[in-house]
Amino acid sequence: MNHTPRSLGLRLVFLVLPLLVALFVSAVILLLLNQEPGEVLRQAWRGAFGNERRIASVLNYWIPLSFAAMGLVITFRAGLWNIGIEGQMIMGAVFATYIPLYVPLPPILTISLSLVLAATGGAIWAVLVGVLRNRFGVHEIFGGVALNAIAAGISLYLVRGPWALVGNNNQTPVFPRETWLPTISDRFGVSQLMLILLVIAVLSIIFLMGRSRWGLQLKATGRNRQSALLLGVSVRSVSLSAFILCGALAGIGGAHRVLHTYHYLLPNVAGGIGFLGLLVVMLSGFHAAIVPLVAYFMAALSAGSTRFQTLLRLDPSLIDVLQGILVLTYVLFSGIQDRFFPRIREGNEEMKKEITTNE
């Protein structure tokens, strides 16, 4: 992620090539499973762009996924592995549930307050990871995994205990109809509010990363914390701010799940979207601008997994496997590319290392 190839053309080739190889490997696996890769692709395409309803279902998966993934772009830039993203989404969903369930307010207030609360909940959960790391030296991966489990425990407890729906211990009561997010149309059940928020988030993150001083400080912190500190970056605040922003975005993503997708809280509300977000960012080669596209592709696969089952008798969990293989192949192939065609890229690490150590 730290190379700057000479020409834009080469840069594109090297961006896209590992992606194509990853797709090819997935196709081979489908062939091995006696599936027609072309048919799967056609169905995925139809699912993704086929008709209004399908596009809407993909978008409804894409929105929370993109919120999470864009947040992760920030933490990755700061050199942080925010595996706690799943828990941050759950906490966002939990925080967003309270008002619709218990506080009767005008719909506009309910929705806006819920979103603010959701962002706060996600941010709190992320700050915990950050504080554990900054103050207590607990690596963010352990902090994140632990807080994921605790968040899952909390949502499980609420759903089964205080917020339980009588006679069903797997969900809360359904929210009142008027607190649901308004949609573009009945057939096209996508929340325009969330779409707009997402577009704003994507654009401002791309801008912040490339043009703001804060973005540069993030990058510096991610590359070399100690040097950044000595150059005057307050690395603790910078990495904490990365966690806060990522957590807030993940929280809004979690809110989308309860306020729009389900209209109630359930134990596994994040449904692995946070983890998928990590895969999306890796598959995008950590480039913010590509993330929404890759997220759309992944969302089309995930949202279409039940259709694959009915149409092609493909097991839905195969989609998860394919997504993992896609990213693994991408990571490995980009390694092969760097390793065996180093001259094409400008940053020939090896040579530079030799020169600097020899001085």
- Should residue 39 be labelled a site residue for other proteins when binding is judged by CB under 8 A? no
d(CA 283, CA 327): 6
Binding region for other proteins (CB under 8 A) out of 53-61, 108-116, 144-152, 173-181: 144-152
Helix 291-303 to helix 305-312 angle (10° resolution) is: 40
d(CA 235, CA 76): 14
Binding mask 100-139 for other proteins (x = CB under 8 A): --------------------------------x---xxx-
Binding to other proteins in span 42-81, by CB under 8 A:
81
Q: What is the sign of the dihedral through the CA atoms of 97, 99, 104 and 109?
A: negative
Which is nearest to 271 in space by CA: 312, 320, 314, 202? Answer: 320
Give the DSSP letter string of 11-25. HHHHHHHHHHHHHHH
Judged by beta carbon, residue 104 or residue 316, the one nearer other proteins is 316
Binding to other proteins in span 146-175, by CB under 8 A:
146-147, 149-150, 152-154, 156-157, 160-161
- Should residue 32 be labelled a site residue for other proteins when binding is judged by CB under 8 A? no
Which is nearest to 278 in space by CA: 207, 330, 215? Answer: 330
Tokens of 214: 């804060």
Judged by beta carbon, residue 9 or residue 162, the one nearer other proteins is 162
Give the DSSP letter string of 92-122. HHHHHHHHHHH----HHHHHHHHHHHHHHHH
Number of chain residues interacting with other proteins (CB under 8 A): 75
Binding-site member from 34, 226, 313, 343 for other proteins (CB under 8 A):
226
Binding-site member from 2, 7, 34, 310 for other proteins (CB under 8 A):
2
Judged by beta carbon, residue 177 or residue 213, the one nearer other proteins is 213
Say which residues have a Cβ less than 8 Å from residue 231's Cβ, sequence separation at least 6: 220
Binding to other proteins in span 296-325, by CB under 8 A:
315, 317-318, 320-321, 323-325
Judged by beta carbon, residue 177 or residue 226, the one nearer other proteins is 226
Binding region for other proteins (CB under 8 A) out of 19-27, 35-43, 108-116, 329-337: 329-337
Binding-site member from 177, 213, 313, 343 for other proteins (CB under 8 A):
213
CB 118 within 8 A of CB 223: no
Binding region for other proteins (CB under 8 A) out of 38-46, 244-252, 273-281, 293-301: 273-281
Binding to other proteins in span 183-212, by CB under 8 A:
211-212
**In the complex, minimum distance from the CB of residue 48 to other proteins, in angstroms, rounded to a whole number:** 21
Tokens of 141: 């991966």
Q: What is the sign of the dihedral through the CA atoms of 182, 183, 184 and 187?
A: negative
Binding-site member from 41, 116, 145, 184 for other proteins (CB under 8 A):
145
CB 319 within 8 A of CB 47: no
